[in-house]
Each structure stands twice: as structure tokens, then as C-alpha cells.
Amino acid sequence: MRPTAMASGTLLNRLMAVRHASEALIEPLDTEDLNLQGMADASPPKWHLAHTTWFFETFVLRPYQPDYEPADARWSYLFNSYYEAVGPRQPRPQRGLLSRPPMREVSAWRSRVNAALERLLESSGDAPWLELVELGLQHEQQHQELMLMDLLDGFSRQPLEPAYRADWREPASNGSDDHNTSWLACPGGLVEVGHAGSSFHFDNETPRHRVWLDPFQIADRLVTNGDYLQFIHAGGYQRPEFWMSEGWAECCQRGWQAPRYWRGDRAGEGPWRWEFTLGGRCPLAEHRPVRHLSWFEADAYARWAGARLPSEAEWELASRTFGEQLLQSHGELWQWTSSPYRPYPGFQAASGAVGEYNGKFMTSQFVLRGSSQLTPRGHSRDTYRNFFPPASRWMAAGLRLAR
């Protein structure tokens, strides 16, 4: 494929906008925050910025820019995430130990990589790297959202309860504050799901295939904090009959009593009147969608409510069928589904190290659909398959009921 100048220029503009947006995310942070890693599942801001740069250097510039001078070879060990074919790497729980290279060297590296990418995209000729540049752009947008979620986790563990930004304001909910739940009826049948067409998508969104769905109903909005308070007051965290066995064990072992960032008084006890956010401690708003739930909590709530979580095929069909009637489908919260993260029929991972992007994780996780308020604009679509382990609850995840 031979790209046109217009196509390359458009991609370059988008790429640089994304690269600069990542750097803007650390502007409110102090130097000490850049290596903050609150738990093994999170990564420090500096690591996110370095890893996304490593991705472009490793998969685009090294193979396709002969005159490019790569960074210190040891940096590949520091900033590789999980690509076994590329080589060994710093253990994920120890990324917060990487005080070197300092941020100024990482920033200089990002600038060099940006300049090299600009030269590459302005060149002519065959371009086998165009799809890799697009993948890297989308990959960096994923890390922008992860960076904010990781910072929220890290700041939440500090007694001073710092705000990410003093002027942070929770975005307005895209659902009506006084809206009562309605059920949207879908006849089901033999339907097609998965990505179709040539626009960008991750490999786990294909192949498009047919699925049989029985008739179902899906809630037109997400479950709210007020709804979830009723579950807590009904003893939801003390009643094992609503929980999967593994989830009940997690609940007991970790002492779960409420969603991840809910707060009571300063001693950490209920009643639940506060929520920790990127703006620090804020009053708990009962009308807003409940968030930072594990799959186990979402599933337990659905059972208590006499409903269930939708399958990912039901969610995709409902979003496509009902459009704006399915309130908060995008731009609010990722929504847990009942579907394990498994390959679609006929799925084939790409060859080489880049094929490790999604396929190797298709076990022991559940699919989330939609997108959150932290998801970069233009990064969501109905076929997007996010995925996390069922006990994870630091992500911006909520739930929608089905029956």
C-alpha cells in the first residue's frame, strides 16, 4: 500500500496531538509523583511515558528507520511491558523503583522519537509501518487513561488525600439526574457482532461473526450510587448467597465493604458519605453511576437486584439498536459484562512480537464494554473489548443490568 501525502499528514497530526496530550497529563504533578506506584497492577506516570515511547522505537523506528539511533539498549529491559519475544523486562511490581533515567532524559527521548516519527511519516514510498504507527497511537491513548486511573489509586493510599489537580471537576454525567430506570426490550435472534469495515480496530474485535441471542431486556442507564447504597444497607457484603465462591473469598479476604474509593468518616467506617476522586475527597453523589467495582461486586449486585449482567453480544447489539436511548453507553464508565474474555471464532493473532498485544490475555478475565469519562475522545466504539481480571476494581468500571 502506498500512502497519500494527505493520509500521512493526517496521521502525523493525530499522532503528535496524542503524544503531546500524554505529556500534558503530568503537568500538574510534582517530581515525587512521577515514580508513584501504589500497587503491583499500576505503573508510575514516568513509566507510562517511557513505555509508549519504547513501543514506537521498538516496533516502528528500529525496523523502518535505518538511520535512527535508539536509546540505551538497557532501557528496553526497563520499559518493555510484556512482550516476551522482545526480551526480559523489569518486573511489573518494581516499576516504581526506577528513579533512573530521570524524567528529563525520558522527555528528551520522547522528543527524539517524535522527530524520527515525523521524518518517517513525511517520507514517500511503500509504508508497511502505517498500521503500526496507528496501533502505537491507539496504544498510547490506552495508557493515557491507565495513567489517570493509576494516579487515582496511588493518591488514594496517602493520608493527605491529595488531588491530582486543584481545579479538577468531575465531568457532568451524560445521563439524566432524575431519570428512573426503564427497560429496553430486544427481540434477539441471529445477529452479527464484531468489527466490520476498514477503520481502526484492535485484533480482538474480529472476526465479525454470528451469535444467537434469546429475547432480553437491558436497563437504559447505569446503576447509581444510590442504587448501590441499598445493596449495602441490605447486607450485600455480608450475604454470600449473592456472590460467586471466588468472589466471596476475595470479599472476605480483602475486607470489602463498599466500592473501591468510597469513604466514611476519617476512621474509614461507614456511613458512606464521601468518594475519593482525582479532585480529592468529594461528597458521594447518589445520582451518579457507581464506579470502581470488581466484576464480583457487579455480579453480586445484579443477583441481589433480581437481574444479571448483559453478555458482551447483548451489550453490542443494544448499543447499535437503541443508540441514544441506551443512556451512558459511552463516555461514562466501562461496563462489566457476563462474558469471559475469549477469542472470537476464527481469531488469529498477528505474527511476531506485536501479536502479543491482546491474544495472550484471553483467559481468566472478563470483558467490559463502552468507555469512561477518562477515555480519550475518539477512542471508543461499540465493538471495543476492554478486559480485566474479575477481582480488579481500580478501573473506571460500573454496571448495567439485563434480564
Per-residue pLDDT tens digits for 284-328: 999 999 999 999 999 999 999 999 999 999 999 999 999 999 999
Whether 326 maps to a domain, the answer reads yes
Whether 172 maps to a domain, the answer reads no
What does the pLDDT read at residue 124? 62
User: Could you tell me the residue range of the domain that residue 144 belongs to?
Assistant: 5-156
Whether 162 maps to a domain, the answer reads no
What does the pLDDT read at residue 387? 98
Torsion of CA 316, 354, 394, 301, to 10 degrees: 30
Q: Can you tell me the distance from the alpha carbon of 12 to that of 119, in angstroms, rounded to the nearest whole number?
A: 10
Residues 127 and 260 in one domain: no
Count of domains in the chain?
2
Residue partners of 143: CB distance under 8 A and separation at least 6: 22, 48, 51, 52
Whether 167 maps to a domain, the answer reads no
What does the pLDDT read at residue 3? 42
Residues 375 and 259 in one domain: yes
What does the pLDDT read at residue 127? 79
What does the pLDDT read at residue 355? 81
Residues 242 and 304 in one domain: yes
**Does the predicted model carry a pTM greater than 0.75?**
yes
Residues 210 and 263 in one domain: yes
- What is the number of residues in the chain? 403
Whether 53 maps to a domain, the answer reads yes
Residues 141 and 206 in one domain: no
What does the pLDDT read at residue 7? 58
3-state DSSP call for residue 212? strand
CA atoms within 13 A on the CB side of 217: 9
Whether 171 maps to a domain, the answer reads no
**Integer-rounded Cα radius of gyration of the chain:** 22
Positions of the chain with pLDDT under 70? 1-8, 124-126, 173-179, 266-270
Whether 361 maps to a domain, the answer reads yes
Residues 147 and 203 in one domain: no
What does the pLDDT read at residue 173? 67
